[in-house]
Amino acid sequence: MGGVRAGLLAALVVGLTAPGWGDAYISTASIFELGVSARVAGLGGAFIALADDEAAVFYNPAGLPALSETRLSSQFTRPFGAFSYGTFGAAQPGWGGYFLLLDSDTLEERDLYGNPTGTFRYTSMGLVLGFGHQLSGGLSFGLQVKA
């Protein structure tokens, strides 16, 4: 009985501390956190179960078979003042894709002491491809690739 308790305690400790072992999310992939749909933002991000429009490519490609026609989507915003963010997406029943672009104005570069050393721009691009297939009944599955 003592071995079972020790095993459960070890599993509990590992389970509670495992999230702390992960690396910080520092990557140009953060462009994928900005989203592609004003509708999804208006729903507070609660779209995964709905997934009934072209944004399903980005959020839940298993919803793509539910589309009845080809759909296009685009968005442009300046979410951080000096940055522009734009998306263009297309989807039809079963598959689709999105192109994402995050681009900055010219920014001033400074050294450790605050002295100007030049200028630079930041640009990040992303591509999302999705495929969905309807199985029997109300079940479908989807695959997604982000690059």
Does the residue 130 lie in any domain? yes
Q: Which amino acid is at 46?
A: A
Does the residue 124 lie in any domain? yes
**pTM, two decimal places:** 0.72
Residue length of the chain: 147
Sheet of strand 123-134, all strands in order from the earlier edge strand to the far edge: 71-77, 83-92, 95-104, 123-134, 140-146
User: pLDDT tens digits for 99-112?
Assistant: 999 998 898 999 99
**Where in the sequence is the domain holding 85, given as residue range(s)?**
27-146
Q: What is the mean pLDDT of residues 14-36?
A: 65
**In the prediction, which pLDDT does 19 show?**
58
Does the residue 16 lie in any domain? no
User: pLDDT tens digits for 26-73?
Assistant: 555 578 888 888 888 888 877 777 788 899 999 999 999 999 999 999
User: pLDDT tens digits for 118-127?
Assistant: 999 989 999 9
Does the residue 96 lie in any domain? yes
Does the residue 59 lie in any domain? yes
State the Cα–Cα distance between residues 63 and 49, nearest whole angstrom. 8
Does the residue 92 lie in any domain? yes
Does the residue 11 lie in any domain? no
State the Cα–Cα distance between residues 59 and 112, nearest whole angstrom. 40
Q: Are 73 and 86 a contacting pair, CB within 8 Å? A: no
- DSSP secondary structure letters along 91-111: EETTEEEEEEEEEE--EEEE-
